[in-house]
A and B are shown apart, each in its own frame.
Chain A
Amino acid sequence: MIEVRFHGRGGQGSVVASELLARAAFEEGKDVQAFPMFGVERRGAPVTAFTRIDEKTVRDHSKIHEPDIVIILDTALLDAVDVTEGLKEDGDVIINTGKDPSEMKIDIEKDADVYTVDASDIAIEHGLGSEMAPIVNTAILGAVCKATGMVDIDTLSDVILKHAPAKNEANAKAAEQAHDEIKGPYPGKKLEGREGQLSSQQTDIPKSEDLLCRDPEDHTDLPRTPIADCDSEYLNKTGSWRTVRPIVNKDKCINCGICWKFCPDVAIFVEEEGAVVDFDFCKGCGICAEECPVDAIEMDKEEKYV
């Protein structure tokens, strides 16, 4: 049995990727299962999806806790999610980035193989998604075929042509190009790891037990029914959902307050020196940039600032 975990963001196509991979393996005679993390999905929020592939009938309906392969669609997630959690000792990590695997700042204390591929660039080249939000799922799958040999690239191309939700030919070409351009493997243990790689932003997010009882080990402390403080929404830093961020040009800003009026998350304020963004809560929707009457706000890729 091969178990695969995808890390992406809502809108990048992680769930479709898990399905296309399952479909391709099924076409090669395997039994398969594909499922998203069972949560409440939102565009921009971190998304996890899974694929199970086996020669035998897949009967296991538990979640995947120890994947063989981890696929990362968005490097900004490296700071927000423990992407290698539970990864098997000899697993594979495939990352969407323009960098060489040896340059990745990711802490893997395992004999995992690390691969990289610039799936974003390839997706943009083939007109998949926009420059700010490329849809990278098919490209990265092409790289996965090469890295793992799990399924043949020709099978994957066929499946994309038949089953991709849109732009089938461009998607198939992107997969083939990524298959040829993947870099690696590089031994995971040799990567330059960072201590405590989770950013302060993420560690601020309260665990559910912190909201429910003072001592999570003590049931007597559990209230009869869950009761949240009215300010609990401040603890959930939704800024981690952002893939693009607003950059304010203070020279152009006229302090008009239009951005503040339109921001659906009250995440931009007007101060003396101009508009100031609260990156703890800005989800990167871009409405401020759209509404600014003097074009003082531009959206830029989040990964540049991580």
Chain B
Amino acid sequence: MSEYKIVTGNFASAYGARLARAEVVSAYPITPQTEVVEKISEFVADGDMDAEFVKVESEHSAMASCIAASATGARAYTATSAHGLALMHEMLMWAARARLPIVMTNVNRAMGPPWSVWADHLDTIAQKGSGMMQFFCENNQEVLDSILMAYKISEDEDIMLPSMVVEDAFILSHTREPVEIYDQELVDDFLPPLDMDQKVDIEDPKGFGSLVMPDWYMDFAKKLEEAMMEAKDKVKEVNKEFKETFGRDPGGLIEEYKTDGVDVLMITMGSISGTSKDVIDELRDEGHNIGLARLRTFRPFPKEEIRELTKDVNVVGILDRSYSFGRAGDAAREIKEAIYGYNSPLVKNYIVGLGGRDLTPEVLELIMEDSLELLDEDPDQDELDPEVEWVDLRIDRNKWRR
């Protein structure tokens, strides 16, 4: 029987791994991810989850254990955050190139120094080229839902790529919300046991991931990219199946919120999206023609959907909770690249909430009003000034307060 529990994003992750019947869990604790691992070790110790819990000495080893487990055909899960993910970097690359359907939670947190344990997407975004799929969640229910969907997408024989489910530090990881913990049988029907065609088998020894010469490496890389491209349709397909099974729509590649015929389109990722939707409702009530798209799947990147959404839009305001030093926010950069040669709205990038800085409805409304004001600008100008704006810095706080 399905039941509602009031749980944190971290517990939603743990329940997700349990419902998915992960067989091997290997992880190393780090704030703010720790409770994911604590809860799973409790499940395993109490006999509520039939998994091998492998204690390791680092995140690098945690992913290495998952890779070994997954290579034998076991469903593997891990979770980490920020510096832990950075330490895992080499193994993330390996998991993707070995084409292993591992699913992990990353509780995104700022990289230090300055030392910080609060929300920031850079840890995840820095792994965008790893070959892992990335799903950014808006709330705790979506964290659980995304883990179930991620396994189904990752384990599809046409995909076979690892996935990262992303929850915002503290804002989701430590916030309790009602989450439906689905009936196990229903989940079992949705997500059958993993059945890999190629796996490590002691009865039939073979070498995996061996050396290839320069005249072959590139072809394997292209094969990985083809799987990524294929995954776009798979995300949509699995999202549809999820909705039919569980009656809930996690948002597929990109969630559209009141986007029909809008002049101004705001684009967000993660937990700020819910607060932003409340503000969109207020502005629409005041008569502004504004809508919101939530970029849920960052890898693979939904460029076709972005093109379609921005077709008749005059202004696009993109909120990035991370910054790629030397250029701009990554969502903005990639969205601009996706629409180049197709549509030409004015595009402005807002850098927000780094290191957990709070995004109040007030600040979000001022951002959206700033985008609405761009409707009066010359649409043919080459570049906005500023093209990238850092929001709510201490030095110009008055600008972002009523």
Contacts and interface: CB of A to CB of B under 8 A. Distances in A.
Interface string B128-161: 0000000000010000000000000000000000
A32 B177 CA distance: 6
Contacts of A216: 394
A34 B113 CA distance: 29
B275 A59 contact: yes
B272 interface: yes
Interface stretch (A61-69, A142-150, A239-247): A61-69
B277 interface: yes
Given A34-B175, A58-B177, A219 B395 contact: yes
B278 interface: yes
B268 to A, nearest CB: 11
Interface in B37-89: none
A61 B6 contact: no
Interface in B237-287: 271-272, 274-275, 277-278
A59 B175 contact: no
B356 A226 contact: no
Interface in A3-54: 19, 22-23, 26, 31-36, 38, 40
The contact size tier of chain A is 20 to 34
Interface residues of B, number: 33
B174 interface: yes
A65 B360 CA distance: 9
A146 to B, nearest CB: 23
A229 interface: no
Contact of B113 (A19, A26, A60, A226): A226
Max chain B Cβ within 10 angstroms of own Cβ: one of A23, A59, A225: A59
A217 interface: yes
B176 A22 contact: yes
B275 A62 contact: yes
Interface string B290-334: 000000000000000000000000000000000000000000000
Nearest to B6: A23
B193 interface: no
Given A26-B4, A32-B6, A38-B356, A61 B171 contact: yes
A110 B394 CA distance: 29
Contact of A62 (B114, B117, B172, B358): B358
Given A23-B6, A61-B274, A35 B176 contact: yes
Contacts of A31: 178
Contacts of B176: 19, 22, 32-35
B39 to A, nearest CB: 15
Contacts of B360: 62-63, 65
A294 B394 CA distance: 55
A218 B139 CA distance: 37
A225 B274 contact: no
A60 B138 CA distance: 10
B395 A62 contact: no
A222 to B, nearest CB: 9
Contacts, number: 72
Interface in A227-277: none
A196 to B, nearest CB: 25
Max chain A Cβ within 10 angstroms of own Cβ: one of B170, B177, B272, B361: B177
Interface in B109-131: 113-115, 117-118
Contacts of B174: 35-36, 38
Contacts of A65: 360
A63 B6 contact: no
A248 to B, nearest CB: 38
A32 B141 CA distance: 13
A218 B393 CA distance: 11
A49 B113 CA distance: 27
Nearest to A34: B176
Contacts of B4: 26
A225 B6 contact: no
Interface in B354-402: 356, 358-361, 393-395
A219 B358 CA distance: 20
A61 B170 contact: no
Nearest to A163: B6
Nearest to B360: A62
A269 to B, nearest CB: 32
A82 B272 CA distance: 28
Contacts of B358: 62-63
Contact of A61 (B115, B172, B393, B394): B172
A216 B395 CA distance: 8
B137 to A, nearest CB: 11
A146 B113 CA distance: 47
B6 A34 contact: yes
A61 B271 contact: yes
Contacts of B394: 209, 216-217, 219
Contacts of B118: 38
A54 to B, nearest CB: 11
A26 B360 CA distance: 24
Contacts of B139: 59, 61
Given A35-B174, A35-B176, A61-B168, 12 more contacts: A19-B176, A26-B6, A31-B178, A33-B177, A35-B170, A38-B169, A38-B174, A40-B117, A60-B274, A60-B361, A226-B114, A226-B115
| Among all A-B residue pairs, the 10 with the closest Cβ atoms | A59-B274, A38-B170, A35-B175, A34-B176, A61-B271, A62-B360, A226-B114, A60-B275, A63-B358, A219-B395
Interface of B: 4, 6, 31, 113-115, 117-118, 139, 168-172, 174-178, 271-272, 274-275, 277-278, 356, 358-361, 393-395
21 contacts: A22-B176, A33-B177, A34-B6, A35-B174, A35-B176, A38-B174, A40-B117, A58-B177, A59-B139, A59-B275, A59-B278, A61-B139, A61-B168, A61-B172, A62-B358, A62-B361, A63-B360, A218-B395, A219-B394, A226-B113, A226-B115
